[in-house]
Amino acid sequence: MSLFDDKHDKEVSSKARADIAFSKAISKAFAQELKALLFRKSKKLLPFDDVKEKLELWYGKDIGVKTVPLNSIIGSQGRYRNFTRHFLPLEENLRNRWKQIEIAMESGRELPPVELYKVCNAYFVKDGHHRVSVAKAKKKVSIEAKVFEYNCDLSLDDKTDFEQIAILETYHRFLKETGLKEKGYQKLHLTVIGGYPILMEHIQRHLFYLEKKEKQRVEVKEAAISWFDNIYSPMRDLIQQNGILEKFPHRTETDFYIWISKHKNRLFQDVFLPDEAQNVINSYTKIFSNPLRKVFGKLRRYLGLVKY
C-alpha cells in the first residue's frame, strides 16, 4: 500500500480524529468529576443490580426495540465505575473500543441496538456502554435500544441519584408495611432521608388512638388508611392552599407535613383540627419564608445538613 494512498490516508485521519475525540471526552469527564466534587453534587451512574435488589424489581419483560432519550439513561449493569453519569469515559483502557465505535458511527455504519433495562422513566445499560458513550459525546439526543421493562411502584427519572435511591428503598418498604400501595395511596414523596420512619410513627400513634377509641384491636394497614384520609390528606390540602410549595419548589407536601408537625411539636395523631392546623402552617410559613432563613437553608442543603 502506498504511503500516499488515499484510502490509507483517510483511515489514518479517521483514527486520529477518533483518538482526539476520546482524549477530549476523558478530559471532560475529569473536569465534570472535579466540579461535582467541589460543588458536592456528584452524580455517578447507578448500579442496576443494587437498584433491582433495593426496590425488589423481579419481573422484567422484553418490550422490543425503542428510541430512547440518552439523557434518561442513569445507570449500568456491571460497568457503572467506567463512565461518568453523562457516560463520558473514566479509564484509559476504554480508548481502543471507544475509538472503534466512534469511527463506525462517523462512517455511517449501522450498529446493532444497545440493550437497556427500563425502570419507570429511567434506563440502565445492559449491553452497549461504548455506543451510548460515543453517542453522548457526539451530542446525539436518542439511541435505538432493545428494552427490557421492569414494573415498579416508585418514580425514577433522569435526576435520580444514590441518595434518592436510598429514599425510594425506604418508601418501598413503607408502602408494603402500611398497605397504602394496595389502596392506591402512593403520593407520599419525600426529598430527605429519614422521613418514612417518622410517618410510620405517626401511623402507629394513630393506631393507638383508634384502638383506645374503638376498644378493639386495629391492624396497621387499617390505621394507615385512616391516618391518610383523616390526618394527612387534610394537612396536605391546607399546605397546598397556603402556597408555601411555590416558595420551596424543590420540596413536597409530605416534606412540609413532617416539618410542620415537628414545628408544632405534636403529631396530629388523634383528630385533625383545621383551625389549629391552619395556624401552625401559617406560623411555619412566616418563619421559614424569611429571606435570611432561605439563604441559611441553601447553605444547609449545600453542606448536606437538611434533615427532618
Domain that holds residue 82: 6-150
- Average pLDDT on 114-122 reads 96
Q: Are residues 111 and 238 in the same domain?
A: no
- Measure the CA–CA gap between 167 and 194, rounded to whole angstroms: 8
In a domain, 308, yes or no: no
67 pairs with which residues across the strands? 144
**Residue where one domain finishes, among candidates 119, 150, 181:** 150
For residue 210, name the pLDDT band (cuts at 50, 70, 90). Answer: very high
In a domain, 27, yes or no: yes
Checking if the pLDDT of 1 tops 50, the result is: no
In a domain, 1, yes or no: no
**Residue where one domain finishes, among candidates 92, 126, 150:** 150
Q: Are residues 246 and 296 in the same domain?
A: yes
Q: Are residues 43 and 145 in the same domain?
A: yes
3-class DSSP string for 18-77: HHHHHHHHHHHHHHHHHHHHHCCCCCECEEHHHHHHHCCCCCEEEEEEEEEEHHHEEEEC
Residue 198 is predicted with a pLDDT of 94
Q: Are residues 47 and 176 in the same domain?
A: no
In a domain, 12, yes or no: yes
In a domain, 155, yes or no: no
- Average pLDDT on 142-169 reads 91
Q: What are phi and psi of 203, to 5 degrees?
A: -65, -40
**DSSP structure class, residue 81:** T
Residue keyed to cell 465505575: 81
> In which order are the strands placed within the sheet that holds 60-69?
46-47, 73-76, 122-127, 114-119, 142-150, 60-69
Q: Are residues 170 and 69 in the same domain?
A: no
For residue 66, name the pLDDT band (cuts at 50, 70, 90). Answer: very high
Residue 100 is predicted with a pLDDT of 94
In a domain, 215, yes or no: yes
Q: Are residues 27 and 136 in the same domain?
A: yes
- Measure the CA–CA gap between 302 and 295, rounded to whole angstroms: 11
Checking if the pLDDT of 231 tops 70, the result is: yes
Q: Are residues 178 and 285 in the same domain?
A: yes
Checking if the pLDDT of 3 tops 90, the result is: no
Residue 236 is predicted with a pLDDT of 92
CA distances from 150 to 57, 61, 63, 182 (A): 6, 7, 10, 18
Q: Are residues 262 and 175 in the same domain?
A: yes
3-class DSSP string for 102-159: HHHHHCCCCCCCEEEEEECCEEEEEECHHHHHHHHHCCCCEEEEEEEEECCCCCCCCC
CA distances from 290 to 45, 236, 287, 294 (A): 37, 22, 6, 6
- Residue 15 C-alpha cell reads as 483514527
Q: Are residues 146 and 126 in the same domain?
A: yes
Checking if the pLDDT of 180 tops 50, the result is: yes
In a domain, 73, yes or no: yes
For residue 239, the one-letter residue type is I
Residue 75 is predicted with a pLDDT of 96
Model confidence, pTM: 0.83
Q: Are residues 146 and 11 in the same domain?
A: yes
Residue 299 is predicted with a pLDDT of 66
CATH assignment of the domain containing 140? 3.90.1530.10
Q: Are residues 136 and 167 in the same domain?
A: no
Query: Cα dihedral angle (207, 208, 214, 217), rounded to 10 degrees?
Result: 70
Residue 112 is predicted with a pLDDT of 95
In a domain, 238, yes or no: yes
Alpha helices in 215-273 (DSSP H): 220-227, 233-242, 244-247, 253-264
Checking if the pLDDT of 136 tops 90, the result is: yes
**Residue where one domain finishes, among candidates 118, 150, 182:** 150
Q: Are residues 64 and 101 in the same domain?
A: yes
Structural domain count, the chain: 2
